[in-house]
Amino acid sequence: MTQQHIRVLLAKPGLDGHDQGAKIVVRAMMDAGFEVIYTGLRQTPEAVARIALEEDVDVIALSSMAGSHLPFCGKLKPLLEANGLGDKLWLIGGNLPAQDHAALRALGFKGIFPSGSRLDAITDFIRAHVGSAS
């Protein structure tokens, strides 16, 4: 798979309105040559799963700043799996306490990018894992 065909869904889960970081990551992914579908604010787990399916994305990425990442991801995981999206690359970034990282990994999030992560680390990770993983 060539990198210009990498399709990424970047979603803002829950009610949190802090989208500056998400929009920065969208631009970094666009500059890296990915096709990015940005959902805008206030997505439910159901909406994330539906858009991911409809848009046939390779990567499902969430940006969470206000602390509700664990309950949200807990609801999202079975929905993604039920929609046959279990083999896609799941990422999450934002305000993510270190003690939650193991739980997020256990939920199936392969890439965890707490605030302060370098943009290239995110895009390099996607390049390294899409194609080889699927």
Partner 1 sequence: MNAPAKPEIATVINESGIEVKPLYTSEDVEKSGGYQQVGLPGEYPFTRGIHRLMYRKQPWTMRQYAGFGNPRESNQRFKYLIANGQTGLNVAFDLPTQIGLDSDDPLASGEIGRVGMSIDTLRDFEIAFDGIDLDQITVSLTINGAAAILIAMYLAMAEKRGYDVKRLRGTAQNDILKEFIGRGTWIFPVEPSIRLVGDTIEYCAQHAPKYSPVSVCGYHIRESGATPAQEMAYAFCIARAYADEVIRRGLSIDEFAGRLSYNFNIFGNIFEQVSKFRAGRSLWARIMKEEYGAEKPGSMWLRMIAAGGGGGLTFEQPELNIVRGAYYALISALSGTQTMALCSYDEAYTIPTEYSARISLRTMQILSDEMGLAETVDPLAGSYYVETMTNQMRDKMVEIMAETDAQGGIVKLVSEGVIQAKVSAQAYRMHRDIESGAFPKVGVNRYRNEQDDEHPVEFHAYREEDARLQIDSLNKVRAERDGDAVARCLAQVGSDARAGANVMPAIVAAVKAYASVGEITERLVQVYGRYREPIRF
Burial of 28 (0-12, 13-18, 19+ CB in 10 A): middle
Q: Which helix (H) or strand (E) holds 53?
A: helix 45-54
Residues 29-88 close enough to bind partner 1 by CB under 8 A: 30, 38, 40-42, 44, 66-68, 71-72
**Closest by CA position to 57, among listed 82, 30, 87, 28:** 87
Give whichever of 40 and 86 is closer to partner 1, judged by the CB atom.
Answer: 40
The one among 47, 50, 51, 95 contacting partner 1 by CB under 8 A: 95
Give whichever of 115 and 134 is closer to partner 1, judged by the CB atom.
Answer: 115
Give yes or no for a contact between 60 and 11, defined as CB atoms under 8 angstroms apart: yes
Q: Which residues are CB-contacts of 62 (< 8 A; sequence separation ≥ 6)?
A: 10, 11, 12, 13, 48, 69, 72, 73, 76, 91, 92, 93, 94
State yes or no: residue 107 binds partner 1 (CB under 8 A). Answer: no
The one among 4, 5, 23, 124 contacting partner 1 by CB under 8 A: 23
Give whichever of 119 and 131 is closer to partner 1, judged by the CB atom.
Answer: 119
Q: How many residues bind partner 1 (CB under 8 A)?
A: 34
Give whichever of 40 and 78 is closer to partner 1, judged by the CB atom.
Answer: 40
Q: Which residues are CB-contacts of 54 (< 8 A; sequence separation ≥ 6)?
A: none
State yes or no: residue 113 binds partner 1 (CB under 8 A). Answer: no
User: Which residues would be at the binding site for partner 1 (CB under 8 A)?
Assistant: 14-20, 23-24, 26-28, 30, 38, 40-42, 44, 66-68, 71-72, 95-99, 114-116, 118-120
